[in-house]
Structure 1
Amino acid sequence: MIIKTVAIYNRISRANNETDDVLLNHRTITTRLCESKEYKYKIYEEIESGGKFEERKVLLQLLKDIAQGLYDGIVVVELSRIARDNLYSQMIAKVLEENDVPIITPTKIYNLNDESDRFMFDVESMISSKELKAITRRMKNGKIEGAKRGEWIQGNPPIGYKRNDDKKLVIVESEAILVQQIFNYADSGYGIPSIVSKITGYKTANGKSFTTTAIYTILKNRTYTGVITYNAKDKKGNITDSIVTKNAHEAIITREQFSLVQQAVKGRMSGDLETRNRSRGMVLSTLKDLVYCRQCKSKMGFKKDSKQANAIYLKACKCGNRGVSESSLLVAFQKKFRFLERFYREEWQKALETTDTISKDSLVQQNEEMSKTLDKLNSKLKRIRSAYLEEVFTKEEYLSEKSNAESEIKKISDAKDELLQDIESLDKESISSQYESKIEKIRQINDIYNKEVSYKDMVEVNRLLKLMLDKVYYIRLTEKVTGISPSRKGLKVEQGDFIQILIASK
């Protein structure tokens, strides 16, 4: 066999924590080998961390070039660099065998058309495949243990942090200030598009401008509260283990503020980021985006009067609930709003009285029950696997049972995590802080309502109301019950034009 022109194939895996130095070493070894043999060579290199065969673009191009007869051989540091997966190894071997292209390593040349060499290739490929599974299992377990120790093992840290030598997150002050600013804007009631416009000029870690998606991701990231959350997944992306480690690193955002921001974001979104619950456009009323029909629960909007320049109206609902002038609506709303401060003070007192007794005990008990349920589900998952190995289940039955059990584990783990947050937030300082914030906002709103309201004031009141209120239910009636008739034979009903308001607070 005459070998003149070869392809060098070098590959490293980021998943195995291999660095560019490893790639350089491999390049040095393979090129030195070619020069010592006086081969002409072309280098093919890629950084690949497992993945699917079709994702290995450089290797696929190399195989195409081999099929076109461009090379007499392929040079690698060792067989495992071609592929560790046994199936992939056989697919590659088929192409090399059909084109009579040997594999050249520093210790041996494998002619795959020779029975002895092919046998050695198959044996070593099988060993590499088993080693890959062992390595993958060790790495997975290592990541889980690392997450439990509070280490960051999930790629690039979120903006505001960097990973130090012991794999823990440490704060980057300049970035942390921006993160705090973003949370403060959200906590103050600004919508995500408004936040994007306010931080124009700042760049993400990869040098791009912030988008609504990037801001939404930051606001939903619990890492900023000092928590590490790691979800271990199988090859199909199913979560097999969920690790939550609290106080893993210094927090940029307090848990109290994070909780308040989640309420604010939820108030502006219905479901995912794509489905907005707030409309854009000019603020025609302090109640913009808050009014809902009490009959059919549909959202109701405002419009300008085409004949009177300064007149604003609440539009009629599609179910027949009549609209009304915005001024009349505000009068009815403000009567109800006056009682909101008293309501919050009463709820504050109740919360303080039950914090260390009934409420917390109940949540702790729920957490214990969830832990027991998780233990049972994990035991069930082990039994399912054992049953499959003993051929009690078919593969389809096993995958179905496994998927159902893992789905339940994920659901309960998420609920347990939220419950633990609730337990931690049940302290008097946290409760007082939340209610004081709400009462302060009511004071600010009343101060504005007690003077002539400008457009800027209107926008500010609307922003503050959205932080406290979920919905304002409205209905317009032609009669209402005012008491019992003097003869006590029925209810006393008054005829007229009445507006009824019901405030649903957050």
Structure 2
Amino acid sequence: MVNIESKKYDIRYVAIYIRKSRAESMEDLEKHRMLLTDLCRKNNFKYVEYMEVGTSDSIDMRPKISKLLKEVEEGVYDAVCVVEYDRLGRGDLGEQDRIKKAFQKSDTLIITPDKIYDLNNDIDDTYADLKGFFARQEYKMITKRLRQGKKIGARRGQWTNGIPPFPYVYQRYHGKYNEKGLVVDDERYKVYRSMIELALNGASPRKIAENLNNKKVFTLKGNYWSAVTIQRLLMDETHLGKIISNKSQGDGHKNKRPNAKDVKIFPKSEWVIVENCHEPVKTQEEHEKIIQLINDRNLIGKKARHQTYVFSGLIKCERCGHSHTFYIKRDKCYMKPCWYINPLGEKCRNEGILVSVIEDMILTEIAKYKDGFLMDTEQEDNSFGMLQILIEEKEKLLSKQKKALSLINDAYEMGDYSREEWLERKKKREFEINDTANEIYELHKSTNSNQQLSKAEKMKALSNFFDHITATTDNASRNELYRTILESIIWYKNGDDIKIKINFK
């Protein structure tokens, strides 16, 4: 183990970073932890642990290293301890450069059991580059072999796709065993079969989800079932005892590695399907009937789905925030009750109304706004100057706060503060700086808005609205007119209790 005391470094506060790689067990992770904590105790370091179980080479996909690098850049630690240099990252050159710059910028050291890396030292920097290069090559070879092994395993009928789909578990359940394959969990099977029976009887995925949620039968993670999850389970051919591979290529996840390839879906003719790999939980006939029912349901047209009505996209439900929709009946336009249904199947129940009635209410509120707008002319004209004065005062305050933070850091370097006192004072000042900066940002937004839409321009928009709203009969044109002066309309109705709030631009 490296003799830290023989080095001329002032190291007191360190972070320990431990990450489990693909080929390692949790036991290996604990061994690494013991090795690094022993190193810290031997050298009397105060330390904070960052432990991560993950296989991604991308920093953005590893929350612990992302947090650690941010704190390294802020100079929180004197050094970071790892069992090997490449534990910090084996990503591409961009990822490795990102790691190096964080340590170089803050003069933070990297300590392994056999070496200290000072990346502002040319020799250590070159050595780190070599270590990073070889680690990257090794990682690429490992991932290539894993991909090949996954393809070969799938073609042999082995499960290689991570967490098994509900109601299966991997390899073993009580007395049942399937080497490198799937086994039915008997308790989950009862829930799954209830989904199948409901679907065969014509229940939609949403109704099935509501049924389970109301019975307090939740997902494995304890969440509510959703219609999307239920539909995926109903359509999954894995439940027929099959292993299907080569369905796609690339990464289709929302949060994916920066260098990941876009997902490409292959036609069914190119899929690799291996039959009789594990116990089926539905029959082929049941599967085909369910698919037919789902397809038939999807073919039902959604009338006026993309049609523009007078208040399309403008009226929001006061209870849940969702937009109200509209329909035509006997040549009259109605606003529907709020359509939102929560995971338990409970409807929002914010009532609808005849659109002509709500439009009269809205026009009355707009007229009141216009009258009040004219009365506030003098006060409004002075608002821009007041905002400028406020911004100048806040910027002076921000400058003082930044200076105070600099003095706190200087005092810590001079030994006037303990680390705990420094961190507490530093954190307090950083919060103040952040709050003031946010206030300045919001004030600038207000001045920009004031400049972009002056008093005269707002008055012109209101006058133009009233000049044209009565004569304009086309729904799309009327919708555009309302949008020139309105941001949104908040609606509530329960019997005779009606509330309306208009947010103007």
Question: Hey, what's the Cα distance between the residues in 1 that align with 2:230 and 2:62?
Answer: 33
Q: Return the letter of the residue paired with 2:202.
A: G
Question: Hey, what's the Cα distance between the residues in 2 that align with 1:192 and 1:19?
Answer: 39
Q: Return the letter of the residue paired with 2:17.
A: Y
In structure 2, the residue matched to 1:236 is: 261
The total of aligned residue pairs comes to 276
Question: Hey, what's the Cα distance between the residues in 1 that align with 2:298 and 2:79?
Answer: 59
Cα shift at 1:230: 3.0
Cα 1:146–1:256 change in 2 (3 A) is same
In structure 2, the residue matched to 1:254 is: 283
Cα 1:95–1:253 change in 2 (3 A) is same
In structure 2, the residue matched to 1:139 is: 146
In structure 1, the residue matched to 2:183 is: 170
In structure 2, the residue matched to 1:82 is: 88
Cα shift at 1:7: 1.4
Question: Hey, what's the Cα distance between the residues in 2 that align with 1:228 and 1:100?
Answer: 52
C-alpha distance after superposition, 1:100-150 (max 9, x if no partner): 222110111122222222221111100001011101101111111111122
Cα shift at 1:264: 1.2
User: Contact between 1:159 and 1:204, CA under 8 Å: does it hold in 2?
Assistant: no
In structure 1, the residue matched to 2:27 is: 21
C-alpha distance after superposition, 1:357-378 (max 9, x if no partner): xxxxxxxxxxxxxxxxxxxxxx
Question: Hey, what's the Cα distance between the residues in 2 that align with 1:183 and 1:39?
Answer: 59
Cα shift at 1:32: 0.8
**Structure 1: stretches of 5+ with no match in the other structure:** 280-300, 305-506
Identity of aligned residues (%): 30
SS at match of 2:180: coil
Is 1:57–2:63 an aligned residue pair?
yes
Cα 1:224–1:53 change in 2 (3 A) is same
Cα 1:96–1:148 change in 2 (3 A) is same
In structure 1, the residue matched to 2:11 is: 3
Is 1:190–2:238 an aligned residue pair?
no
C-alpha distance after superposition, 1:70-108 (max 9, x if no partner): 222111010111001242222211221232222110111
SS at match of 1:169: strand
Cα 1:249–1:149 change in 2 (3 A) is same
Q: Superposed, which structure 2 residues align to 1:38-57 within 5 Å?
A: 38-50=44-56, 52-57=58-63
Q: Return the letter of the residue paired with 1:62.
A: L
SS at match of 1:209: coil
Is 1:212–2:212 an aligned residue pair?
no
In structure 1, the residue matched to 2:292 is: 263
SS at match of 1:11: strand
Question: Hey, what's the Cα distance between the residues in 2 that align with 1:173 and 1:122?
Answer: 53
SS at match of 2:195: helix
Cα shift at 1:51: 5.4
Cα 1:97–1:190 change in 2 (3 A) is closer
In structure 1, the residue matched to 2:239 is: 224
In structure 2, the residue matched to 1:472 is: none
SS at match of 1:156: coil
SS at match of 1:157: coil
User: Contact between 2:20 and 2:53, CA under 8 Å: does it hold in 1?
Assistant: yes
Candidates 157, 162, 182, aligned match of 1:150: 157
Structure with the larger RCO, 1 or 2 (CA within 8 Å, 6+ apart): 1
Q: Return the letter of the residue paired with 2:231.
A: Y
What TM-score, normalized to structure 1?
A: 0.50
RMSD (Å), alpha carbons: 2.7
C-alpha distance after superposition, 1:373-404 (max 9, x if no partner): xxxxxxxxxxxxxxxxxxxxxxxxxxxxxxxx
Question: Hey, what's the Cα distance between the residues in 2 that align with 1:96 and 1:267?
Answer: 59
What TM-score, normalized to structure 2?
A: 0.51
**Structure 2: stretches of 5+ with no match in the other structure:** 1-8, 173-178, 251-259, 306-326, 331-505
Q: Return the letter of the residue paired with 1:20.
A: M
Q: Return the letter of the residue paired with 2:261.
A: K
Is 1:31–2:46 an aligned residue pair?
no
SS at match of 1:260: helix
Cα shift at 1:238: 2.8
User: Contact between 2:56 and 2:62, CA under 8 Å: does it hold in 1?
Assistant: no
Q: Return the letter of the residue paired with 2:103.
A: L
Q: Return the letter of the residue paired with 1:210.
A: W
In structure 1, the residue matched to 2:98 is: 91
